[in-house]
Amino acid sequence: MTGLWLLLAPSPADLAPGAPELRAEEARYAELAAAAEATATAALSLQAAWAERAPPRSPCDDHARLELGWRLERFGAAWREASQALRVQAGRLRAVAAEPTVSPLLTPAARAALDVRLARADALATAFLQASAWQVAHVRPTLAACPLCGDGLDAGIANQPVPAHDELGVLVAVLAHGDGVVCPGALRADDAVVLVEGGLACWAPDATCACEPSAVWPGAVLGPPIVEGEAPVEDG
């Protein structure tokens, strides 16, 4: 009976979180914040590209504009998920920082810096709601009036400088098509938004990554090479 009680008893960290638990929550928050920032940048870049295009006489005539709208839906959904995950983690980080065993460890400067970082989660959530409302008002009516077309391959919206080769930690959100991987890192494609580091990436059919990374920007679409004359893949 005593042995079973010991197995079920909470650990000291569960009872009284300290500096290690705070560092772990901060590291997870930083990871999710980077993902939310990258997906937000891609979605907002695509929205700006949509807004810059003059509406055609018939909404279904401009296929490039429709492709942008389709991509916006995908990156908007990825931003929503990233923003929600960040807000949940922000709540966890706030709770740990407020614990009686942790709060005294934070200097006034450290507390102020933490508050600034946590405020970014709220700012990104507000920005998503504004961007989503814009999408509903300006993009979805066109998508509803026209059949979705394939998005093709695209290097993204080149509105930011490409990071230096040795600049680590810069994440770029791209849409990856096909039964393959995005390299470096052999990230599964599966028609999902993935985050690549450093602004250089390529698509490969398998984890050997037999492809040459090139510059990609927010909102890029990577996938198997399109054979000339081949119809683009339809979503869904």
What pLDDT is stored for residue 1 in this prediction? Answer: 46
User: Which of 221, 215, 220, 217 has the alpha carbon at shortest distance from 165?
Assistant: 215
Give me the mean pLDDT over the 85-94 stretch. 94
CB 139 within 8 A of CB 208: no
pLDDT in tens, 132-156: 999 999 999 888 888 765 555 555 6
Q: Which pLDDT does position 156 carry in this prediction?
A: 60
Give the pLDDT confidence score for residue 161 in this predicted structure.
47
- SS in 3 state form for 54-100? CCCCCCCCCHHHHHHHHHHHHHHHHHHHHHHHHHHHHHHHHHHHCCC
What is the rounded distance in angstroms from the CA atom of residue 33 to the CA atom of residue 185?
Answer: 20
Confidence of residue 229 (pLDDT cuts 50, 70, 90): very low
Average pLDDT, the chain: 82
Residue appearing with tokens 């991987």: 181
Interatomic CA distance for residues 92 and 66, integer angstroms: 40
Exposed e or buried b per residue across 25-41, where buried means at least 16 C-beta atoms within 10 angstroms of its C-beta: bbeebeebbbbbbbbbb
pLDDT level of residue 128 (50, 70, 90 thresholds):
very high
Q: Is 23 left (phi over 0), alpha (psi -120 to 50) or beta?
A: alpha
Strands across the sheet containing 181-183? 187-188, 181-183, 200-204, 214-215
pTM attached to this predicted model: 0.79
Model confidence over 40-70: pLDDT tens digits? 999 999 999 998 888 888 878 888 888 888 8
**d(C-alpha 202, C-alpha 153), whole Å:** 11
The predicted structure's pLDDT at residue 88: 94
CA atoms within 13 A on the CB side of 205: 2
Residue 174 CA to residue 192 CA, distance in Å, equals: 8
Residue 230: predicted pLDDT: 47
Q: What is the pLDDT of residue 46?
A: 92
Report, as an integer, the average pLDDT of 177-202.
89
**Which residue did the predictor score with more confidence, 15 or 141?**
141
Which segment of 104-108, 143-147, 151-155, 214-218 scores lowest on mean pLDDT? 151-155
Beta bridge partners of 214: 201
Confidence at residue 11, expressed as pLDDT on a 0 to 100 scale: 52
Give the per-residue pLDDT at 31: 92
Dihedral in degrees, nearest 10, Cα atoms 78, 79, 85, 88: -150
Provide the token pair at 44.
Answer: 């907002």
Domain boundaries, the chain: 15-145, 152-226
Report the C-alpha gap between 153 and 163 in whole angstroms: 21
Per-residue pLDDT averaged across 206-222, rounded?
90
pLDDT at 231 over 50: no
Mean pLDDT of 90-115: 89
pLDDT of res. 27: 93
pLDDT higher than threshold 70 for residue 178: yes
